Structure 1
Amino acid sequence: MRDEIDESRAPLMDHLIELRKRLLICVVAMLVAFGVAYTQAERVFAFLVQPLVHAFGPGAGGKLIYTKLYEAFFVEVKVAAFTAFVLAFPIIANQLWAFVAPGLYKSEKRAFLPFLIATPVLFTMGAALAYYVVMPTAFTFFLTFQNAGGSSGIAQQALPSMDEYLSLVMHFIIAFGVAFLLPVLLLLLERAGIVSRAQLIAGRRYAIVVAFIIAAVLTPPDILSQCMLAIPLILLYEASIAIIWFTERKRAKAEAAG
């Protein structure tokens, strides 16, 4: 049975009006979410700072400083903007899908739906790994370089600034979240016919090298953080190959039955 496009002959002006409407809804959602998030920015920052608290240890007296009078204010603004995007993302994604979906065939909609569901799930998994495992481990390692003087004759104490810490945390969360979207990318490429399972298997050695290169670029320059990103990337690559094998068998059975 031939697939049909829901709305394929809408004039260009209608598409532009529809796009403006969708963008306006996204902007309003972001503004409302920012207003709500700003009132809770202090609590969100307190949550984001927990990996550092864990790294310092109980009663260690760790602190975050700010060296510019306006730094603490802009940290709260950044936290609110980051939180607002997270809160508004479901609405933004829904508006994007509502704009694109009418131009897709029904079979294409069914094919893209799993990717739309998997994207936030995988991103959340990557962000959770960064927050609960990687950051506490990395920060504990970085703090081992503190000392009370010793042979150097001068104390070394970690006094990170609020803005630098927030930038590092957001870098970790976004880097790990985006990196965990690797299966979605590979499955889309396979669905489009750009790569095949055989090519992915043949390129496994190169994929391992690329995983460590990506980890070196996206994480701080320590081998621990790099391995904690590269190893999950390699595992996700292998999982993508397994999923492609499963989908190939499913398509083959569907074609044989049809």
Structure 2
Amino acid sequence: MAEIKDELEGTEQPFVSHLVELRDRLVRALIAVAVVFGVLCLWPGPAGLYDLLAAPLVANLPKGTTLIATNVISPFIVPLKITMMAAFLVALPIVLYQVWAFVAPGLYSHEKKLVMPLVVSSTVLFVAGVAFCY
């Protein structure tokens, strides 16, 4: 497979090779998210992340009240969902690199120059939004 990629470097590739490349990039991104999810499940654990995010809400609840589960499976699913979202956020640089590695060969050099300011400003605004929401 590496020989085929080397031969086609700098030339227009057929449609199927684009699909194979896309599949490879998606698999790498999913593996990165899965590895981070596994690590976050081991330490600090889904309950630890849930407690961290719920702490401001619990601190401002009226005296004598607690959070309740409105569904039978909610106490199990909600911490896992939070852990999966955190895993995606932690693995986001790898995911974005895989997207860039797939898209970059099809861009002209003047188009590639526009990407860095876009990524930096988007990252700063995203982090500011997350900090404001928390």
TM exceeding 0.5: yes
CA separation of 1:50 and 1:16: change in aligned 2, threshold 3 A: same
**Partners of 1:90 and 1:62 in 2: how far apart?**
40
Contact 2:37/2:83 (<8 A) preserved: yes
Contact 2:41/2:83 (<8 A) preserved: yes
Q: RMSD of the TM alignment (CA)? A: 2.0
Alignment partner, residue 60 of structure 2: 55
> Which of structures 1 and 2 has the bigger CA Rg?
1
Matched, 1:24 2:27: yes
Deviation, 1:107, is: 1.5
Matched, 1:118 2:121: yes
Alignment partner, residue 157 of structure 1: none
1:208-219 to 2 correspondences below 5 Å: none
Deviation, 1:66, is: 1.8
Deviation, 1:104, is: 1.0
TM-score by length of 2: 0.81
**Aligned to 2:102, which of 99, 102, 111?**
99
Contact 2:40/2:83 (<8 A) preserved: yes
**Partners of 2:76 and 2:61 in 1: how far apart?**
25
Contact 1:7/1:103 (<8 A) preserved: no
- 1 or 2 for the larger relative contact order (CA 8 Å, sep ≥6)? 2
Contact 1:8/1:102 (<8 A) preserved: no
1:1-258 to 2 correspondences below 5 Å: 7=10, 9-39=12-42, 40-56=45-61, 60-131=63-134
TM-score by length of 1: 0.44
2:67 alignment partner AA: L
Name which of structure 1's ranges 80-89 and 63-72 shifts more when overlaid on structure 2.
63-72
Aligned length: 124
**Partners of 2:71 and 2:133 in 1: how far apart?**
28
Contact 1:8/1:103 (<8 A) preserved: no
